[in-house]
A and B are shown apart, each in its own frame.
Chain A
Amino acid sequence: MSNSHVLLKDSLGKKVLLLGNEAIARGILEAGISVVTTYPGTPASEIGDSISEIAKDTGLYMEYSTNEIVATEVAAGAANCGIRALTAMKHVGLNVAADLVMTLAYAGVRGGYVIVTADDPECYSSQNEQDNRYYALLSSLPCLEPSNAQEAKDMTISAIEISEKLELPVLLRTTTRVSHTRGPVTYGRTIKPHLKGEFIRDVKRFVMVPAHSRPKHSVLLKKFEMAKEVSENSPYNKIVQNGKSMEIALISSSSAYNYAVEAADMLGLDVSILKLGMTHPLPEKMIGKFLKKHAKAIVVEELEPYLEMQIKAIAKDYAPNIEIYGKMSKPCFPREGEFSTRIVATGLAEITGKKVSIDFGKIDEKYAEVTKDLPRRPPILCAGCPHRASFYVIRKVAGERALYSTDIGCYALGIAPPLNVGDIMTCMGASIGTAEGISKATNANTFAIIGDSTFFHAGIPGLINAVYNNHKIVVAVLDNLATAMTGHQPHPGTGMTGMRSPTEKISIEKVAEGCGVRFVKVVDPFNVKEAETVLKEALRFDGPSVIVFRAPCTLIVVRERRRKGAELLACKINEKCTDCMACIKVLGCPALIVEEGKVGINEALCSACGLCVSVCPYKAIECVKIR
């Protein structure tokens, strides 16, 4: 591996293979963006993570903020001192930041400011598949939508320029396919970060009391008119192909554009194609003129009919007789899930009466036959995961009758059998408040299960509410000292910053005490006996209680051990094993295997956490050195 980071390579003008998110990170360097903030979330995480890797070398400032709204506040604050800034988040992160963003749009920003929202059609790693282009519509902010890695980089730079021109934050909206596809990217020159800003006082602009907000709303609408001009002239909105017959117009953006081009090619369609890269505000005149020349328009977009709805409105003025196909009155494409060339080709075939040359039905049939009994392989908690130990203890003490309000993180995987911990889960931080409502309504033993990063992100107001309104719930904070699910980013409890500098470790137990919780205990989940005792006490306690189950994420522990060349341990089954399957039945650890009716341990996976040692009734498992 060469010493220099791929993003810092001296490859001016050369093509480099970059992940869409890395391309955005490279765009950050080429745009001279100097403050980057984020809260991790798939599929956005690699933007912040790669900037964190190089921040010190480049002189820009990077932070993992407590949550998305704080991230937005920090970056927008800096932008309002004339600094170029960017915040990256996953789509649902923008829900958290929305309160700020909606009003920030009124005041605008002085330095360029880009908000990256990475949407997740198909919910590959999310709780919903909301289409954040609607936030552009809602806030009146400009929005750019790249369709590949090169555009992701280029649009990051353009977004900063548009932002500075209009003095408005700009949304850069990717999808999982754009963020997580590697493609060739040509490097341009980088600009040295510029971190010295100045806050010029302007109370009427920045203090959004009603008397100031009203005129600023008009200012926003004026800027919106200017943004329309930018969109009309944007190089990202272009007719890439004129059909021979000028009968059918295809309009598309983002990854859907790639599928549309491939599908049209596959069907041999004679179509004109308009590619939209700046999708808010839309280039009304350009679209209007384009529609006028055609008899039919087909809008190809993933998720919501965001373009279609607006294109219909444009058509009313420019081409009232044109037929518009998409998802609304002439539906040909699904409104949910990720697209593919197949889905788009099928829709286009339906509209045009062409035949798809591939017999997908036959492939499906054969595939269904071959995979009929194929076992699934969903993600599960790693072997040695401390969450497994916590769930084992919780389930053992509180049992089937207790109710478990869980939260988002690796520990959400606890819903799988045999652990079965998790009855309700909605969005980050919701576990605590939800548990309060459930406990009020049922009087059952009610748990809130929440991770450490999630606790800091959005758990604290819920906890204060439990104390304030005296909700008798048990809050189990599963503290693995990392934001594990999204790639082990640091958080306020880890003592490490995004600049890779040591910092104050914020203690979850002290926060809980500070919130007024009178029962706060810290346990090691692998110390099963002690954890059980504490949990029983908590259930007897009259009032909200907090138990911090603290043990580091096993992946981090194992990685550290390997890096240091320390000896590796694994568990081993001895001759006392009766193959009673107790360990297999209660733990669901992937390192525990059954071969020919005999229990065994996969040494490569086992990290010697010792949980199965505690569970085995015959003392038939022990930890041994393997290397």
Chain B
Amino acid sequence: MREFNIVLAGVGGQGILLAAEVLGTAAIKEGLNVQVSEIHGMAQRGGAVVSHVRIGEKAMSATILEGHANVLLGFEPIETLRNLKFASEKTTVIMNEERITPPELTAKQIKYPSMEEIMEKIHCFTKKVIVLDAARLAKKAGNILTENVVLIGALAAAEKLPLKNSSIIEALRELVPAKHLNVNVKAFKFGYETVKKGQD
């Protein structure tokens, strides 16, 4: 495998950097080369956050070329749109439907775009779109804060991801506090199963 590229995009506070670290750690466990880029500093303050994960021997630079994401993992619809330049018709977009209204819209009292508008825009780039309600699944797993792990589960169900579920769960064991591990593993499974079911 030359490279497998994942863009993770969302809003500060959604656990994107941890999700990216989990994927990177899982790749190392499989003996794969990996580069995980992060932009820090502003992350906690509700700004847009993006991380690129590149797996495979060819992955040298930390950032993904436009049109070259295998998966765009959107934690939030507007942030998914903001990162569409990394998508092509071959890309699978996995998107959390939870909307976080940008303060600019609140201030100007403009409505958040509708799901139809959002889907239409994504379809300009790719028809392979999976939408899920990560908040609901995270709550079902026992903690709303595990939305990020639900999304990793969904990603794990995507085609050709070169990571085994067992490696991802191992990585979770390393990176999340022991007392939250069970909830996180559940969240992972819910995300995974939801996408698998949808694909059948």
Give the B-binding residues of A (Cβ under 8 A): 1-2, 15-17, 19, 42-43, 45-46, 124-125, 148, 176-177, 180-184, 255, 258-259, 261-262, 265, 340-342, 358, 360, 363-364, 366-367, 369-371, 374-382, 410, 413, 417-418, 485-486, 555, 581, 584, 588, 590, 592-594, 597, 604
Closest 6 CB pairs of A and B: A379-B47, A125-B41, A42-B41, A258-B61, A379-B45, A379-B42
- Cα A604 to Cα B42 in complex, Å, equals 19
- Asked whether, in the complex, the Cβ of A43 is within 8 Å of the Cβ of B40, the reply is yes
Contact A255 B62 (CB under 8 A): yes
Check B45 against A181 for contact (C-beta < 8 Å): no
Q: Are A17 and B40 in contact (CB under 8 A)?
A: no
Residues of B within 8 A of A358 (CB): 65-67
Residues of A within 8 A of B40 (CB): 42-43, 45-46, 125, 180
A53 to chain B, nearest CB (A): 15
Candidates A176, A341, A379, A418; contact of B12 at CB < 8 Å = A379
Check if A258 sits within 8 Å of B60, measured CB to CB. Answer: yes
Q: A17-B24, A177-B37, A183-B36 are in contact. Are A382 and B44 (CB under 8 A)?
A: yes
Interface flags for B104-115 (1: CB within 8 Å of A; 0: not) read: 111101100000
**A182-B41 contact, Cβ under 8 Å, with A17-B24, A370-B124, A590-B103:** no
Within 8 A of A (CB), among B35-70: 35-42, 44-48, 58, 60-63, 65-67
Chain B 122-152 interface 0/1 with A at a Cβ cutoff of 8 Å (1 = within)? 0011000000000000000000100000000
Could you tell me the distance between the alpha carbons of A325 and B78 in the complex, rounded to whole angstroms? 40
Asked if B103 and A588 make an inter-chain contact with CB atoms under 8 angstroms apart, the answer reads yes
Q: Which residues of A contact B154 (CB under 8 A)?
A: none
- 16 more contacts with CB within 8 A, not counting A125-B42, A177-B37, A181-B36, are A177-B62, A180-B37, A180-B40, A181-B37, A182-B20, A183-B35, A255-B62, A258-B60, A341-B61, A360-B66, A364-B66, A370-B124, A374-B82, A377-B46, A418-B107, A555-B44
Q: Are B11 and A2 in contact (CB under 8 A)?
A: no
Q: Is the CB of B65 within 8 A of A1?
A: no
For chain B, the count of residues having a C-beta within 8 Å of the partner chain is 57
Give the nearest-CB partner of B22 in chain A.
A17
Distance in angstroms between the alpha carbons of A262 and B27 in the assembled complex: 21
Residues on the A chain within 8 Å of B178, using CB? 1
Q: Tell me whether B38 and A180 are in contact (CB under 8 A).
A: yes
Encode contact with A along B62-106: 1 for CB under 8 Å, 0 otherwise.
110111000000000011011011001000000000000111111
Minimum CB–CB distance from B118 to chain A (whole Å) comes to: 10
Interchain CA distance A604-B143 in the complex, whole Å: 13
Nearest-CB residue, chain B, relative to A182: B36
Docked CA distance A360–B110 (Å): 32
Give B7 Cβ to nearest chain A Cβ, in Å. 13
Residues in B neighbouring A581, C-beta threshold 8 A: 109
> Which residues of A lie under 8 Å from residue B42 when comparing CB positions?
124-125, 379
B66–A588 contact, CB under 8 A? Answer: no
Name the CB-closest residue of A to B108.
Answer: A375
Residue of B nearest to A261 (CB): B60
Does B34 count as interface, using CB distance less than 8 angstroms? yes
Chain A: minimal CB distance from B174 (Å): 6
Contact of A182 among B24, B85, B110 (CB under 8 A): B24
Q: Are B34 and A17 in contact (CB under 8 A)?
A: yes
22 contacts between A and B (CB under 8 A): A1-B176, A16-B28, A17-B27, A42-B40, A45-B40, A177-B62, A180-B38, A182-B21, A258-B60, A341-B65, A358-B65, A370-B121, A375-B110, A376-B102, A378-B47, A381-B45, A382-B46, A410-B45, A418-B107, A584-B106, A592-B106, A604-B144
* A290 to B78 alpha-carbon distance, docked (Å): 49
B30 CB, nearest partner CB in chain A, Å? 11
Q: Which of B33, B88, B106, B124 contacts A593 (CB 8 A)?
A: B106
- In the complex, A85 Cα to B121 Cα: how many Å? 54
| Structural contact, B28 and A17, CB atoms closer than 8 A | yes
Report B's interface with A, CB cutoff 8 A: 11-12, 20-21, 24-25, 27-28, 31, 33-42, 44-48, 58, 60-63, 65-67, 78-79, 81-82, 84-85, 88, 101-107, 109-110, 121, 124-125, 144, 174-178
CA–CA, A379 and B31, complex, Å: 36
Shortest Cβ distance from A126 into chain B, in angstroms? 9
Q: Which residue of B lies closest to A122 (CB)?
A: B39
Query: Please, which residue of chain A has its CB at the minimum distance from the CB of B123?
Result: A370
Complex CA distance for A255 and B61, rounded to whole angstroms = 7
Q: Which chain A residues border B66 with CB–CB below 8 Å? A: 342, 358, 360, 363-364, 367
Set of chain B residues within 8 Å of A555, measured between Cβ atoms:
44
The CA-CA distance from A15 to B121 in the complex, in Å, is 41
Compute how far the CA of A150 lies from the CA of B114 in the bound complex, rounded to whole angstroms. 45
* A46 nearest CB neighbor, chain B only: B40
Contact (Cβ within 8 A) B46 A262: no
Q: Which residue of B lies closest to A9 (CB)?
A: B174
CB of A17 within 8 A of CB of B124, answer no
Query: How far is A17 from B170 in the complex, measured between Cα atoms in Å?
Result: 14
Chain B nearest CB: distance from A264 CB in Å?
Answer: 11
When the two chains form the complex, which single residue of B25, B82, B104 contacts A17, counting CB atoms closer than 8 Å?
B25
CB distance from A237 to the nearest CB of B (A): 18
Chain A neighbourhood of B37, CB < 8 A:
177, 180-182
Contacting pair B41 A485 (CB below 8 A) = yes
B78–A363 CB distance below 8 A: no
Docked-complex contact B82 and A366, CB < 8 angstroms: no
In the assembled complex, the Cα of A335 lies from the Cα of B184 at a distance in Å of 45
Name the A residues within 8 Å of B38 (CB-CB).
19, 180-182
B47 and A377 form a contact (CB under 8 A): yes
Contacts of B63 in A (CB 8 A): 177, 340-341
Contact A181 B60, CB 8 Å, known A124-B41, A367-B84, A379-B47:
no
User: Please, which residues of chain B bring their CB within 8 A of the CB of A177?
Assistant: 37, 62-63
Q: How far is the CA of A43 from the CA of B78 in the complex (A)?
A: 27
- Taking CB atoms, residues of chain B closer than 8 Å to A125 are 40-42
**Residue from the list A1, A417, A588, A592 in contact with B174, Cβ < 8 A:** A1
Complex CA gap A2/B174 in Å reads 6
Q: Which B residues touch A377, using CB under 8 A?
A: 11, 46-48, 78-79, 82, 102-104
Cα-based distance from A2 to B173 in the complex (angstroms) = 8
User: Distance in Å from the Cβ of B14 to the closest Cβ of chain A?
Assistant: 11
Please state if B81 and A184 are interface contacts (CB–CB under 8 Å): no
Once the chains bind, are B78 and A379 in contact (CB under 8 Å)?
Answer: no
CB pair A593 B47 closer than 8 Å: no
B84 pairs with A370, CB closer than 8 A: yes
Q: Which residue of chain B has its CB nearest to the CB of A416? A: B103
CA of A382 to CA of B101, assembled, Å: 14
